[in-house]
Amino acid sequence: MRVDSFRFLPRSFRPLYEHVEAPEGDMPWAAFEPRLAGATVALLTSAGLHLEGVQPPFDLDRERREPTWGDPSWRSIPAGVSSGELGMCHLHVNSADVLADHNVALPTDRLAELVSEGVVGATAPQHVSVMGYQERSLDGWRTRTLPEVLDLLRGEAADGVVLAPV
Amino acid sequence: MLARWIEAAGISTVTVTMMPDVAVAAPRVVGVEFPFGHPFGLPGDVALQRRVLTTALTLLAGASAPGTRVDIDVEWPVPLRDAYRSWQPAEPSPIVAAMLARMRGEG
């Protein structure tokens, strides 16, 4: 069975995605060295999650004023977070299901269960949320978010990251 | 691209995506035929969320070559007509609103 990438996409959007080419250059490859049962795993979502009342929300007002811009900042989400602590900032998807159960986008509880069962060695103490709608150049992500997120992941000794765009 | 950049920095990645045919830049890919906004499944569906995550972790730890893709053979448990509508935001996003305005000759 092969996933139909366009099953839920409005037909008028298809031309935007149908002729995607891989970037130039070799695919980067970081071999996963440890056994999973001894590894630390981090999660990354593009759902625009933030700790409500603690972290600033992503800037949706500016996106409304400048529709080709998306907030390139990021938030660290603690591994023990509960759904009620999270807000979601994303103008391109319905947020109801993620707000009801953040594991739909950032499965921290599922990862914690796998750790307690010995399948995964450890969860990273902090996971990452970005907001997935970005200006075409991706300059904000490349020049600021990426170095900061790499610092976090290295500081946590993350062996691998599960990324899940929304 | 974030997956590609993180991988290039030496940290292994796996990407769970509803559009695996578009995620051609990602080193390890798990495809899910789910509506946008739902990479790991439905709220409260622990079994499905767990299945997606464990597949991703299996690929993360065990893929032997860049560009490996595995698709999860699960049909979204909501009728397509309902799921197609319900993932979309209540208001068109600003970029979509701008595109629609241009099409109507207002932009």
pLDDT digits (tens, 9 = 90+) for A123-139: 999 999 999 999 989 99
- ipTM score of complex: 0.95
Q: Note whether residue A24 is domain-resident.
A: no
Contacts of A41 in chain B (CB under 8 A): 57, 60
Neighbours of A12 (CB within 10 A): 11
Residue A6 is assigned to a structural domain of this protein: no
Q: What does the pLDDT average to over B63-72?
A: 95
A14, part of any domain: no
- Using only C-alpha atoms, what is the Rg of chain B? 17
Q: What's residue A26's pLDDT? A: 87
Total number of domains constituting chain A = 1
The CA–CA distances, whole Å, from B52 to A85, A87, A101, B21, B85 equal 24, 23, 15, 18, 23
Residue A95 domain-assigned? yes
Distance CA A66, CA B41 (A): 32
pLDDT at B106: 63
CA-nearest residue of chain A to B40? Answer: A104
**Closest to B94 in 3D by CA, of A16, A89, A17, A69:** A69
Q: Tell me A24's DSSP state.
A: S
Reading phi first (left if > 0) and then psi (alpha if -120 to 50, else beta), residue B58 is in alpha
Residue A18 located in a structural domain: no
The pLDDT score that the predictor gives to residue B105 is 82
Q: How far is A103 from chain B (nearest CA, A)?
A: 7
pLDDT, tens digit only, all 166 positions of chain A: 899 999 999 888 888 887 777 777 889 999 999 999 999 999 999 999 999 999 999 999 999 999 999 999 999 999 999 999 999 999 999 999 999 999 999 999 999 999 999 999 999 999 999 999 999 899 999 999 999 999 999 999 999 999 999 9
Domain range for residue A123? Answer: 43-164
* Min Cα separation A56/chain B (Å): 21
Q: Is A131 on the interface with B (CB under 8 A)?
A: no
Q: Is A94 in contact with B89 (Cβ distance < 8 A)?
A: yes
Note whether residue A123 is domain-resident: yes
Domain definitions of chain B by residue range: 2-77
Q: Is residue A22 part of a domain?
A: no
Task: Report pLDDT for A25.
Answer: 80
Residue A9 inside a domain? The answer is no
